[in-house]
Structure 1
Amino acid sequence: MPRKVPLYAAHPLLVDSFATDMVSEQVTANRRAERKQFKLDRARAIAQAAEAAEAAFKEGRVLTVEETGIVIPSAATWKPSRSSSPPPPLSNGPPTSAAQKDQPLDEDIPENLEHLQLTLQEAFFLLWTLDCLTVVDPNTNCAMTLQQIWQRFQQAHLPPYPSHPADPTSLRFDNPFLINYVVYHHYRSLGWVIRNGIKFCVDYLLYKRGPVFHHAEFALVVCPVYEDEDDRQTCPFDLQNVDPFSWTWLSTVNRVNSQVQKTLVLTYVTIPARSRCNAELLASPACLQYFSIREVVLRRFIPARMRD
C-alpha cells in the first residue's frame, strides 16, 4: 500500500519562536544582535591580546597564550550571554491580561507554516517509481489512481483545463509533461539529483548528491525533436527549443554556465510519430518506451585555462 507523505510541516525554528512568545522578526533581530555582540567580543579580545603582546615586547620577552589567559572567540564555539532578558514581544493589539498569558500557547500555533511544492515530474516520480506519495482529489477527497493522475498531469497543459476525466483522444506525445518527465526520469534513474535550472537559463541542473553537498556539475537544455514533421504543424503547445536556436543564444547560455563551472548539455528528446504510435498508448506510462534521448555536451573554449 502506498504510504502517505505529509506535504505540510511546521518549521522547527518558527515553532520554537511561537513557543517562546516570539515572532519571526524578533528571531531575526536576536540573531543580528548576537552577531554584533560576537564581533565586539572578538575585537575586544584581539585588542587586549595585542596590548599584552606589545607590553611584553617592550620588556624583551615572549608572551604565551597561557600567561595572558585571553581567548579570542571563534564563530564555531562562541555562545551569547543569556544574562540579559529577551526583548518584550511585539504586539499590535490590546495588552493581554495575566490570565491570558498563563494559557498554553499550543492553541495559537498556526498550522502549515511551510509546505513542500513539487513539480508534476517530481510528484509522478514519487508516485510511480518510489510509491511513497498519495494524491487526493480535491473534489472527492479520495485518493486518485495512477492512471487518473497520469492523464490529469497531461491535461494540465491543455488550454482550457477540463473538469471532466481525461479523454485519451486529446492526449499527444508532444505534451510538455511527457517531454520533461522523460528527461527527469532518465537522469533520476541514473542516480542524479535533478533540480530546476531557471537560475542559470537552463531547464535542469544535475547534482551528484544534492544542492546541500555539492554544486551542480551539468546544466541541461531540453530540446524536443519531432520524428514526424507533420505532428509539429498540428501541435497545440508552445514548446521551447523546437526551432534551431541562434549562436548568440547558445554562446550566452554556455558562457553563463561555464563561468560557474557547469558543463552545458543539450538533451534531445525524440517525440514518436503519431502515425507509428497509437494515441491510446498515452493512457498509461507504457508510452515512455517510445521516446528516445540523445545528449550533446558543449564546452566553451577558454585559451587561458586550456593552454596545457
Structure 2
Amino acid sequence: MSLITPTRHKGSQKGGARRAENNRIYAHPLPLVFSAPEPHSKFGHVLGLFGPNTRLENPHCEGIFDPATRSVWVTNEKDSMILWRRGFFGKGNLSRSEPSWLARQINARKAAGKYMTSEEIREKRRAERKQFKMDRAAAIAKAAAEAEAAFAEGREAGPAFIPSGATWKPQPSSELSLPSEPPEDQSMDVAEELEPLEDVEHLQLTLQEAFFLIWNLDCLTVLDPHTHEPMSLREIWQTFQDVHCITPGLPVYAHRFDNPFLVNYAAYHYYRSLGWVVKGGIKFCVDLLLYKRGPVFHHAEFAIVVIPVYEDPADKESSPFNLPNADTFSWSWLSTINRVNAQVQKTLILTYVTIPAQSRVSADLLSSPACLAHYSVRDVVLRRFIPARMRD
C-alpha cells in the first residue's frame, strides 16, 4: 500500500465569508469527539495528550437497513446532521449532498410574495431565451421578405435590424411577472393557513460507509427492516454481503472472497484510514472521489477507479459475481475517463484491490471482518499526456 501525497493543489478552494463558519461547523473529522477540560500542558490539546478527565463522546446514531437500495437510512434529523457534519458520511436522498431539503422548503415559503426563488428565476430565463429565438427568427423572416420585395421592385432594400443577445430586451408580455407582496393582514392569514412542514428527507449511507461507522467507530446502530430490532455485527456482516447475491443462501455464493461488498469496502477503508473523505464518484464516471477535508471546503482532488485483481485466476472463472473493471478494459475507455476527470481538474487513480486466493486462505475467515486483513490495495496515479504542454 502507498500513501498518496498530493503534489499540487488543483481543487479550487471554496472561500468567502462562510469559511470561518464552515471551520466551526465542520471542526470534527469523525463522529467520535474527544473532550478534555484540563490538558496536561498548553501543548496537550495540540498533541492529543489529555489528562485523566478526557472523555469520549459517542453520538450512538441509529439507522435502518434498506435492502432495496442497498443502503442504510438515517431518519433522525439530529443523527443525520452529526454524521454529515462530522466526516461527511452519506447524502440526503432529496439533496445533492447535505440533507437540506427542509431548509430549502422553508426558504421557499419565506420567499413567496417577496422575491423570486432560484427555480422561478430559472423558468424566467428559459422563457426569455425562447422569446429571443422567436423574435430573432421573425426579424430574419421579415428582412428576407423585405429584400425579395425590394429586388422585385428594382429598389434598394433598407437596413434590416436583427436582434442579438446584447441588444435584445424582453417584452413585458414575455417576462414572468414578479410575485406581488400581499397586504400585511393577508400575508398573516396565508401564514396561518400553511401547514407545518414535515421533514421527509433522510440521510442515505452506502453499505461501506455504514460498516465503517459500525465496525471501526462503533457509533451507528442498524435496525432490521422487518423486526426493527438492532442487528448484531455478525448479522450485519452477512446481510451486507447477501444483498449482492441474486438468490442468497445458494452454495455458489458462499465462501467467496470476491463478494462486491468486500472488494468495495477494502478500497473505502483504505482511503478512509489515511484520512481522506471518501464520496461516490458516479458523476465523473469513477467509483470514488477523495476530498482533503470535505465538499464544503475543497473540490475533490482525486478520482478513484476500483479494479479488482484475482490472486488466483481460477477464482475468477468460477465466480458468480460480475465485478466491474475485472476484465481488461480498452485504452479508449481509459483515455475517455482520464480526459473527463482532467477537464474538472481531478487526478485519476487506478486502485487495484487484490482478492486473496481461496486455495490459500481458509474460507472460515469470511465469517468475520478478520478476512479483510488478507486483501491488499495498491494505487497507480494516471496523468494525461498533453504534447503541446509537456515538451519540456
Taking structure 1 as the reference length, what is the TM-score of the superposition?
0.69
Kindly state the Cα deviation for residue 250 of structure 1 after the two structures are TM-superposed.
Answer: 0.8
Counterpart for residue 247 of structure 1:
331
Provide closer, same or farther for how the CA distance between residues 29 and 277 of structure 1 changes in structure 2, counting only shifts above 3 A: farther
Kindly state the Cα deviation for residue 179 of structure 1 after the two structures are TM-superposed.
Answer: 0.3
Q: 1:145 aligns with which of 232, 251, 268?
A: 232
Contact 2:224 2:230 in 1 (8 A): yes
Question: Which digits, 9 at most, give the CA deviation of each residue in 1:92-125, with x for residues without a partner?
Answer: xxxxxx8x9868x7xx435442111111001111
Question: Which digits, 9 at most, give the CA deviation of each residue in 1:151-179, with x for residues without a partner?
Answer: 100011011246xxx99981310000000
Contact 2:288 2:303 in 1 (8 A): yes
Kindly state the Cα deviation for residue 35 of structure 1 after the two structures are TM-superposed.
Answer: 7.8
Residue aligned with 2:263, SS: helix
Of stretches 205-214 and 181-190 in structure 1, the one that deviates more from structure 2 is 205-214
Counterpart for residue 215 of structure 1:
299
Residue 13 (1) aligns with residue 94 (2): no
Provide closer, same or farther for how the CA distance between residues 84 and 150 of structure 1 changes in structure 2, counting only shifts above 3 A: same
Q: Partners in 1 of 2:289 and 2:314 — Cα distance?
A: 32
Kindly state the Cα deviation for residue 306 of structure 1 after the two structures are TM-superposed.
Answer: 2.8
Kindly state the Cα deviation for residue 31 of structure 1 after the two structures are TM-superposed.
Answer: 2.9
Residue 299 (1) aligns with residue 383 (2): yes
How many aligned residue pairs are there?
A: 243
Counterpart residue type for residue 201 of structure 1: C
Question: Which digits, 9 at most, give the CA deviation of each residue in 1:126-167, with x for residues without a partner?
Answer: 1111211110012222100111101100011011246xxx99
Contact 1:205 1:216 in 2 (8 A): yes
Contact 2:62 2:222 in 1 (8 A): no
Question: Which digits, 9 at most, give the CA deviation of each residue in 1:13-52, with x for residues without a partner?
Answer: 257469xxx499x48964359989xxxxxxxxxxxxxxxx
Q: Partners in 2 of 1:128 and 1:168 — Cα distance?
A: 27
Q: Partners in 2 of 1:255 and 1:284 — Cα distance?
A: 40
Q: Partners in 2 of 1:184 and 1:255 — Cα distance?
A: 24
Contact 2:312 2:357 in 1 (8 A): yes
Of stretches 113-122 and 167-176 in structure 1, the one that deviates more from structure 2 is 167-176
Provide closer, same or farther for how the CA distance between residues 85 and 101 of structure 1 changes in structure 2, counting only shifts above 3 A: closer
Q: Partners in 2 of 1:111 and 1:101 — Cα distance?
A: 16
Kindly state the Cα deviation for residue 255 of structure 1 after the two structures are TM-superposed.
Answer: 1.1
Contact 1:2 1:131 in 2 (8 A): no
Q: Partners in 2 of 1:14 and 1:264 — Cα distance?
A: 34
Q: 2:117 aligns with which of 24, 31, 35?
A: 31
Counterpart residue type for residue 206 of structure 2: T
Residue aligned with 1:268, SS: strand
Contact 1:137 1:144 in 2 (8 A): yes
Contact 1:195 1:206 in 2 (8 A): yes
Structure 2: unaligned runs, 5 residues or longer: 1-57, 64-73, 78-99, 123-179
Q: Partners in 2 of 1:288 and 1:28 — Cα distance?
A: 57
Kindly state the Cα deviation for residue 12 of structure 1 after the two structures are TM-superposed.
Answer: 4.7
Q: Partners in 1 of 2:114 and 2:287 — Cα distance?
A: 34
Residue 120 (1) aligns with residue 207 (2): yes
Counterpart for residue 342 of structure 2:
258
Counterpart for residue 53 of structure 1:
none
Give percent identity, aligned residues only.
Answer: 58
Provide closer, same or farther for how the CA distance between residues 287 and 307 of structure 1 changes in structure 2, counting only shifts above 3 A: same
Counterpart for residue 355 of structure 2:
271
Taking structure 2 as the reference length, what is the TM-score of the superposition?
0.55
Counterpart residue type for residue 260 of structure 1: V
Q: 2:241 aligns with which of 148, 154, 166?
A: 154
Provide closer, same or farther for how the CA distance between residues 23 and 101 of structure 1 changes in structure 2, counting only shifts above 3 A: closer
Let me know the Cα RMSD of the aligned residues: 3.4
Q: Partners in 2 of 1:141 and 1:33 — Cα distance?
A: 39
What are the within-5 Å matches in structure 2 for residues 67-146 of structure 1?
84-85=181-182, 108-109=195-196, 111-146=198-233
Structure 1: unaligned runs, 5 residues or longer: 37-82, 90-97
Counterpart residue type for residue 114 of structure 1: E
Contact 2:309 2:326 in 1 (8 A): yes
Counterpart residue type for residue 239 of structure 1: L
Q: Determine which structure has greater relative contact order: mean sequence separation of CA pairs < 8 Å that are 6+ residues apart, divided by chain length.
A: 2
Q: Partners in 1 of 2:223 and 2:183 — Cα distance?
A: 44
Counterpart residue type for residue 335 of structure 2: S
Counterpart residue type for residue 61 of structure 2: K
Counterpart for residue 3 of structure 1:
60
Q: 2:286 aligns with which of 191, 202, 205?
A: 202
Counterpart for residue 283 of structure 1:
367
Question: Which digits, 9 at most, give the CA deviation of each residue in 1:162-215, with x for residues without a partner?
Answer: 6xxx99981310000000000000000000011111111111111111121111
Counterpart for residue 236 of structure 1:
320
Provide closer, same or farther for how the CA distance between residues 119 and 181 of structure 1 changes in structure 2, counting only shifts above 3 A: same
Contact 1:17 1:27 in 2 (8 A): no
Provide closer, same or farther for how the CA distance between residues 250 and 101 of structure 1 changes in structure 2, counting only shifts above 3 A: closer
Q: 2:259 aligns with which of 175, 179, 183?
A: 175
Counterpart residue type for residue 103 of structure 2: L
Q: Partners in 1 of 2:232 and 2:302 — Cα distance?
A: 35
